[in-house]
Chain A
Amino acid sequence: AQSVTQPDIHITVSEGASLELRCNYSYGATPYLFWYVQSPGQGLQLLLKYFSGDTLVQGIKGFEAEFKRSQSSFNLRKPSVHWSDAAEYFCAVGLYNQGGKLIFGQGTELSVKP
């Protein structure tokens, strides 16, 4: 069955430090992969997506993610975190043979220390 695992429930980083959020997926075919961000009381906003091609994808707000097929991973990175990045981050796999429906991980809550 398809699934997404985000091993870290909560991460705290200092402002200006680098960030890496982990995501592992289980899917029998080449996946569509996504990262979303959710601020408190808000809906989810798409940060970036991977379909094919270059395994390093750039997104909004200075985020990037790297697809590693051998590790079934799609980790999100940012070189320097800003206080406004504090939010919850969701990784998702898109099932293109099932209407593109997304299976989400449980999310990682990011806190940023001043």
Chain B
Amino acid sequence: DAGVIQSPRHEVTEMGQEVTLRCKPISGHDYLFWYRQTMMRGLELLIYFNNNVPIDDSGMPEDRFSAKMPNASFSTLKIQPSEPRDSAVYFCASSLGTGNGYTFGSGTRLTVV
């Protein structure tokens, strides 16, 4: 298994631009999570899905952030418009059931200038 695949690995964009981060979970996993990691705030859960349905998006910072999971093998996290304070590493993770821990992707390092 290739694990959780995220793209791109690095993204540099200008303030005001739209950014789309992509994630392919492990085949057969029914939960998908998006986290953001910064020095100041550590690892924050943004949103998670169960069987492609968003369950808890209370961690999404504001309306500029949106996430979708159109099918079991693909999810996107979109920021529009992007701001410098969105600069962070964004991780996608997937799991089979609850309580099994996650498998993390390698992350997308986003820099907004």
Residues of A with Cβ closer than 8 Å to B? 32, 34, 36, 41-46, 49, 51, 90, 94, 96, 98-107
> Are A46 and B99 touching (Cβ within 8 A)?
no
- Please judge, given known A-B contacts A46-B103, A94-B101, whether A99 and B48 are in contact too, CB under 8 Å: yes
A32 to B17, CA, bound (A): 40
Is chain B's binding surface mostly helix, strand, loop or mixed?
strand
Residues of B with Cβ closer than 8 Å to A? 4, 31, 33, 42-43, 45, 48, 50, 55-56, 91, 93, 95, 97-107
Contacts of A43 in B (CB 8 A): 4, 91, 93, 104-107
> Are A51 and B99 touching (Cβ within 8 A)?
yes
Contacts of A34 in B (CB 8 A): 101
> Are A90 and B43 touching (Cβ within 8 A)?
yes
Chain A nearest CB from B4 CB (Å) reads: 8
A51 to B99, CA, bound (A): 8
Residue of A nearest to B107 (CB): A43
Contacts of B105 in A (CB 8 A): 43
A46 to B101, CA, bound (A): 7
A85 to B56, CA, bound (A): 34
Contacts of B4 in A (CB 8 A): 43
> Are B98 and A100 touching (Cβ within 8 A)?
yes
A–B Cβ pairs within 8 angstroms, 6 of them = A42-B106, A46-B102, A94-B98, A94-B99, A104-B42, A105-B42
> Are B91 and A99 touching (Cβ within 8 A)?
no
